[in-house]
Amino acid sequence: MRDQPFLSLCLTAGYGDKPPVLRNAFLQMRRGEILGLIGQSGSGKSTLALAILGLLELKGGKAAGSVYLEGDDLMKMKERELRALRGRRIGLVLQSPLSSLNPALSVGTQLREAWRAHAQGTSFDRQASIVAALTNVSLPADEDFLRRRPSQLSVGQAQRVLIAMAVLHRPSLLIADEPTSALDVITQAEVLKLFARLNRELGTAILYISHDLLSVVSICHRVAILHESDIVECASTETILETPTHPYTQKLIAALPQKPAPATSRKAKSKGVYEETPGLVQR
């Protein structure tokens, strides 16, 4: 249905006997949009991402509730089903590119392993997918680059390799968890432009997680505010900047050195997949 959310979740999550990090946190995404998730360090942003992927238990956490992706309840899936989903339908980009890549393996080997995890075909099919992924992130696909180890890459190149691995199978959802926090300002701007282009050209929906409001409003269609274990506000980027309603959001906007112009009255024009749907994020 037209008004059915692409991603819909309501989660309570925590670690051991500590108070919940998330408490009935409710969030919805539309197909093909870039949704920014803002919150201070320790607010539960990464916990939410791990819960979507079914990986929270690896960090000693536990989640309860529902996560629906294109109508499928991920919380009811078995681990075998989730493994097939990660990388194919949901891609993940983490914040530490050099530590996220295997230092002992070449770039080409890691891309080939990522392809084999979710695809079958000839070596020609594999190479074509790898070349397309590297081209999508503006990296060379020649043998010299593919033979390099992560230690031979700049931080910006390593982050682009991670993004190439994440979009290798053209996932419908890309989760980017603080993907620019380890980058210098110039490289950060390049990566943000890359996300916007991937969204525009591939139609990939992106959940962009950050504590940096300026980077979020520069590329996101809508912004969700995570505060005190819950999503306290979710609206278009323009609305968040011009008429924030929650006191915490108002403090975030007031703390900006100057109010940026929202870059997100735009739509994913090339695919036509992102459209405003009034009331979609209301409980």
pLDDT at 40: 87
pLDDT at 34: 97
What's the rounded Cα separation, in Å, for the pair 71 and 49? Answer: 18
What's the rounded Cα separation, in Å, for the pair 249 and 114? Answer: 39
pLDDT at 275: 52
Q: Is residue 133 part of a domain?
A: no
User: Mean pLDDT score of the chain, rounded to an integer?
Assistant: 88
* Range with lowest mean pLDDT among 159-173, 177-191, 262-276: 262-276
Q: Is residue 102 part of a domain?
A: no
pLDDT at 256: 85
Q: Is residue 20 part of a domain?
A: yes
Predicted TM-score of the model (pTM): 0.89
What's the rounded Cα separation, in Å, for the pair 136 and 127? Answer: 14
pLDDT tens-digit map of 24-48: 999 999 999 999 999 988 889 999 9
Contact between 274 and 30 under an 8 Å Cβ cutoff? The reply is yes
pLDDT at 98: 81
Q: Is residue 76 part of a domain?
A: yes
Q: Is residue 145 part of a domain?
A: no
pLDDT at 165: 94
Instruction: Give the count of alpha carbons within 13 A of 227, CB side only.
Output: 13
The pLDDT > 90 percentage for the chain reads 72
Find, among 139, 165, 167, the residue nearest to 153 by Cα: 139
**Any idea which residue has 């190439």 for tokens?**
164
Q: Is residue 265 part of a domain?
A: no
**pLDDT score of 1 more than 60:** no
**pLDDT score of 270 more than 80:** no
Find, among 77, 74, 34, 9, the residue nearest to 195 by Cα: 34
**pLDDT score of 278 more than 80:** no
* More confident position, 278 or 198: 198
- Measured distance between the N- and C-terminal CA atoms of the chain, rounded to whole angstroms: 18
CATH value at residue 39: 3.40.50.300
pLDDT at 94: 86
Q: Is residue 187 part of a domain?
A: yes
The number of folded domains in the chain is 1
pLDDT tens-digit map of 138-183: 999 999 999 999 999 998 999 999 999 999 999 999 999 999 887 8
Q: Residue 206 is part of which domain span?
A: 7-89+171-255
Q: Is residue 136 part of a domain?
A: no
* More confident position, 215 or 257: 215
pLDDT at 283: 37
